[in-house]
Structure 1
């Protein structure tokens, strides 16, 4: 790679990193502000807050990186043209292929980055968010319930404790469970603490009394325990079992997914799982199409009299239209299997068309000064 190509490569890579960092930071902050409730009302630490919000970064990078590359190529080419460097390079015989080479190297690196994010990092991060939120909900006794208050929970359960002990235990516990309309269970204990066993959270009650009363029984039955364990899962909202959403499944799971052997939910919404799988493979292709559209717009040397604003605006409109068409194709693919042609055809077709148009005009060159020199020589000979 020549010095000129390394110079272009350095400028484009730096512009991409700056653009990716700024765009990701802005969108991440807007997303993180929605999760402030974790700290404000659910009593979680800042570490949990940053872990959960940080796990959204792979999904942001997968979407932002192609756009950041598009902007970086536009910025680099516009800067080269504004400083007349692109005109000098073209006059010196720099071909369109050599001019494209540094941008192709950056595009290839970004393509690998987006593919890694889409295929592995993004589903892993969504699964991590699900696990973290499950732990937050399971740990509601320690962080959500306030001392001295009767707090109504889900499923007709009321929880109360008098105060916290010195070691973080709960003192003076009262729990009334009306989740079953036929039976009312009341738990009273001197103290209790949360423990985790095999990934499940339990509230261990010490010196507890359990009162059980059915609708037909006037006299409730009461049993005392020295130690009694309650599964905290019954105090939280019921989720959709162990069913994982399409974005939470690994790519290998989606490839092996058989709709005939899957559960009812997966069979009903199998189109979403199918679309998610192919979105992970087709998403990185937009890196190539966006890069080539930017090169098509400003890859040709222009004089200062030739406006570049129209070309930049046309490129931005084309990129937005192509990405919206890709989203529409993915939504259509959830209902109709034939739309897989559009899922891959839109980014690949845009890349092929932009490449054809870019190199169709590659024969245009800045005229060499040789004819001017010959004319000057002829005029001097005539004068003599």
Structure 2
């Protein structure tokens, strides 16, 4: 790689990284707002919210990366063309392909990053997020406890807590349990969720128990410490249900009967697998369209707004059609081939148009002279 090529690659890399980083920050903000329910309604910690937000990022990379490449390349190429640095590079002996090679290297690197994310990072992150969400939804501490409110749980249990401290300590707790005609209540000054031999329990400190039986007998008991068994209130038939986005690539292309029953039919899983492999190719399409919009015409001091708008429109249409192909491949599996062909064909066409437009066109005066001398 020559010195000029290294310079061009550096000038392209920084805006692309900035664009991808900005889009990633917007994605993180959007995901964090969606996860606020975990803290507000489920009583989880801030770390759980941050964890789920970060685990959602690999799935967003396939969307963010091509857009970041397109926006960053447009910014860099517009500046290089406006300041005539590309013209100086060509005047210094740099050929068209040599000038395009740094941009193609960056696009190929983006494709590799997208493949790594889709094949390895996304299923791992999605499974971790699914397991964490399942644990939150089945967490009795979140289901049964809400500060200042009576929460009705399963199997006739009702729990009230006056105050929940940051360390998980419950203050002034009241439990009401009805089984048929038998009613039992517990009250305690303090309580805390824990596990004994793997079973969930609620340890009550400084309280009493009252039990009214169906035969009219009232039983009263005061205690310093009492372990309230929560096992009868834990659903035993609940398991984590993984979706197609949570599965590994091998599971998508060769699913077991259990996965087909839980995650979806075989054509849907295959379409998801091909989408993961094909979506990074849109980084090549984005770079080719950016190059074609800026370098595919005459130099302009007034800007390249119209060319950029056309390239952005083409990229938007191609990406939407790509999403449509993923959905259509569920019904027609042969359309999976088009998931790869579409971004590659548009990228090749953009490069072809770029070189066609770079060829000098004869002016009208030259055409008249040729006709006159013919």
Is TM-score (shorter-chain normalized) higher than 0.5? yes
Contact (CA 8 Å) 1:86, 1:301: kept in 2 or not? Answer: no
Aligned to 1:48: 48
Q: Does 1:326 align with 2:322?
A: yes
Which residue, out of 286, 290, 304, partners 2:286? Answer: 290
Task: Find the counterpart in structure 2 of residue 194 from structure 1.
Answer: 193
CA distance in 1, matches of 2:341, 2:152: 53
Displacement, 1:70? 1.0
Query: Which residue is 1:248 aligned to?
Result: 246
For the 8 Å contact 1:279–1:330, the answer to whether it is kept is yes
> TM-score, length-normalised on structure 2?
0.79
**1:135-174 pair list within 5 angstroms:** 135-141=135-141, 145-146=145-146, 149-153=149-153, 157-161=157-161, 168=169, 172-174=173-175
User: Aligned partners of 2:164 and 2:244: how far apart in 1?
Assistant: 41
Query: What SS does the corresponding residue of 2:158 show, helix, strand or coil?
Result: strand
Aligned residue number for residue 201 of structure 2: 203
8 Å contact 1:203–1:232 — kept in the other structure?
A: no
Q: TM-score, normalised to structure 1's length?
A: 0.78
**Is it true that 1:264 corresponds to 2:265 in the alignment?**
no
Q: Give the distance between the partners of 1:328 and 1:136, measured in 2 at CA.
A: 34
Runs of 4+ more than 6 Å apart: 162-167, 206-213, 220-226
Q: Distance in 2 between matches of 1:212 and 1:12?
A: 77
Residue 323 of structure 1: CA displacement? 0.2
* 1:158 partner SS: strand
1:292 and 1:184 map into 2 onto residues whose CA distance is: 75
Q: Distance in 1 between matches of 2:155 and 2:342?
A: 48
In 1, distance between residues paired with 2:251 and 2:100?
38
**Structure 1 stretch 91-100 or stretch 2-11: which is displaced more?**
91-100
Are 1:9 and 2:9 counterparts? Answer: yes
* SS of structure 1 residue aligned to 2:230: strand
Deviation, structure 1 residue 350: 1.3
Change (3 A) 1:336 1:175: farther
- The C-alpha deviation readout for 1:193-237, integer Å capped at 9, x for no partner, is 423478x66124669979799xxxx6599999975522386379x
- Confirm or deny: 8 A CA contact 2:194 2:202 kept in the other structure: yes
Residue 184 (structure 1) shift? 7.5
Task: Give me the whole-angstrom Cα distance separating, in 2, the residues matched to 1:222 and 1:335.
Answer: 66
Instruction: Answer yes or no: is the 8 Å Cα contact 2:182–2:212 preserved in 1.
Output: yes
Q: Per the alignment, do residues 162 and 75 of structure 1 end up closer, same or farther by CA in structure 2, a change over 3 Å counting?
A: closer
Gaps of 5+ in 2: 362-374
Q: Secondary structure at the match of 2:35?
A: coil
Tell me, yes or no, if the aligned pair for 2:69 and 2:287 is still in contact at 8 Å.
yes
Contact 2:9/2:103 (<8 A) preserved: yes
The DSSP-based 3-state class of the residue aligned with 1:284 is: helix
| 1:12 to partner: Cα distance | 0.8
Contiguous gaps of at least 5 residues in structure 1: 366-384
Q: State the Cα deviation string for residues 314-369 of structure 1 (Å, max 9, x = none).
A: 1101100100000000011122212212222211221222233233455549xxxx
CA gap of 1:323–1:361, structure 2 versus 1, over 3 A, is same
| Residue pair 1:333, 1:340 contacting (<8 A) in 2 also | yes
Q: Is contact 1:110-1:287 (8 Å) kept?
A: yes
Residues 12-33 of structure 1 deviation map (CA, whole Å, 9 limit, x = unaligned)? 1100111111121123212312
Q: Distance in 1 between matches of 2:296 and 2:248?
A: 43
- Report the CA distance between 1:110 and its aligned residue: 1.3
SS at match of 1:283: helix
Partner Cα separation in structure 2 for residue 299 and residue 105 of structure 1: 17
Tell me, what secondary structure is at the counterpart of 2:201?
Answer: strand
The alpha carbon displacement at 1:64 in A equals 0.7
Alignment counterpart, residue 306 of structure 2, candidates 289, 293, 310? 310
Shift of 1:48: 1.8
* Shift in CA distance, 306/149, structure 1 to aligned 2, threshold 3 Å: closer
The aligned counterpart of 2:365 is: none
